[in-house]
Amino acid sequence: MSDMQPPSSLFPSDLDVELEGIGRKTGSKRSLGQILVDAKVLTPENAQRIIELQHEKKIRFGEAAVQLGLMSEGDIHYALAHQYEYSYLPGTGGHHADAELVAAYQPFSNEVDQLRTIRAQLMLRWFDQHKGHAMLAVVGAGRAEGGSYLVANLAIVFAQMGERTLLIDADMRVPRQHALFQLNNQVGFSSLLAGRADVASAVHHIPYIQNLDVLPAGPIPPNPQELLNRSNLIELFEWAGKTYDIVLIDTSSLSSGADALMVASKAGAALVVARANATKTASFKNMIVELKRSNIHVVGSVLNAPPLIDVSA
């Protein structure tokens, strides 16, 4: 499977909408107009205005829309991406997700290209269903590293590639994934470990990103480490590894306690993250020592250096 690249032209001729009928499908693909109407980027009335100008001037749908001031280049990229089943969010469209989800909002940016590079390296270094390598914990020494941002966007780019992906928020101290994806957090990871819910009620399908499910952290418990010692964790991870192609796990920082070590040891491997000009070298080195001492395989490290992300072995 290869990455979807930004269109070389704003109005590529081979992806034009049919002149007649915004609701008509070409094969199994919806027209650009229908995609944008469904996403509430366009109203049916404005879509009809575009079609009328398109007929009048014998131009393409996107050109007519831009001339009328009804669509942006980003809106057209959004529709083209959906024709290729490469889902992401347009800048407008009524969806509710945090702007930090750059892979959803800006999939053709340099920053997301870096995320796809990390994805490719992880596919080479770790993820292999034949070897039982479907799970990876993302671990940081402190709270400033941006681990939650990284794992959320990695989950999106894996899902965009067509891999059935589960993102687990195992940070039961300062969880963030429910806020990033705007999910109800009343039931989640802690609920499953406590035996108070089942996966059907806790896992959320993300409708605007195909192939992506998210398990939020759930209510913050008074005893995170005790919950992580329960057999429910192993059962949950076994289920996840068999059900999904990719399982990414957000963890609490090592400075918060041993939670991340416990989660990573059950996951089988860890990706460590640091932030430029924020993570102390000594803290990072101590984190690596602790992970290796716990017999946790460190797949690689990511340096969050906004706006760029670097990855190394």
Cβ pair 140, 273 in contact under 8 A: yes
Kind of pairing between the strands at 297-305 and 204-205: unpaired
| Residue 82 burial (C-beta neighbours within 10 Å; 0-12, 13-18, 19+) | buried
Q: pTM higher than 0.85 for the full model?
A: no
Return the CATH number at 238.
3.40.50.300
For residue 307, whether the previous peptide bond is cis, meaning omega lies within 30 degrees of 0, is yes
Q: Does residue 89 sit in the same domain as residue 109?
A: no
Q: Are residues 159 and 45 both part of a single domain?
A: no
Does one domain contain both 207 and 243?
yes
Question: Strands across the sheet with 212-215, in order?
Answer: 204-205, 212-215, 165-169, 246-250, 135-140, 269-275, 297-305, 308-312
pLDDT band at 109 (very low <50, low <70, confident <90, very high): confident
- 289 and 206 assigned to the same domain: yes
For the chain, how big is the Rg over CA atoms in Å? Answer: 21
Q: Write the pLDDT tens digit of every residue in 112-168.
A: 999 999 999 999 999 988 788 999 999 998 888 889 999 999 999 999 999 999 999
Contact 265, 249 (CB under 8 A): no
Closest CA to 246 of 136, 111, 81: 136
| Alpha carbon distance 197, 187 (integer Å) | 7
Considering the domain architecture, whether residues 194 and 60 belong to the same structural domain is answered as: no
Q: Is residue 188's pLDDT more than 80?
A: yes
User: What are the helix and strand counts (H, E) for the chain?
Assistant: 14, 10
Residue 3 placed within a domain = no
Inform me whether the pLDDT recorded for 312 exceeds 70.
Answer: no
Say how many domains are in the chain.
2
The residue segments making up the domain with residue 60 are: 13-95
17 falls in which pLDDT band (50, 70, 90)? very low
Q: Based on the domain organization, do 147 and 50 belong to the same domain?
A: no
Q: 42 and 124: one domain? A: no
Same domain, 127 and 263: yes
Among 95-109, 204-218, 250-264, where is mean pLDDT lowest?
A: 95-109
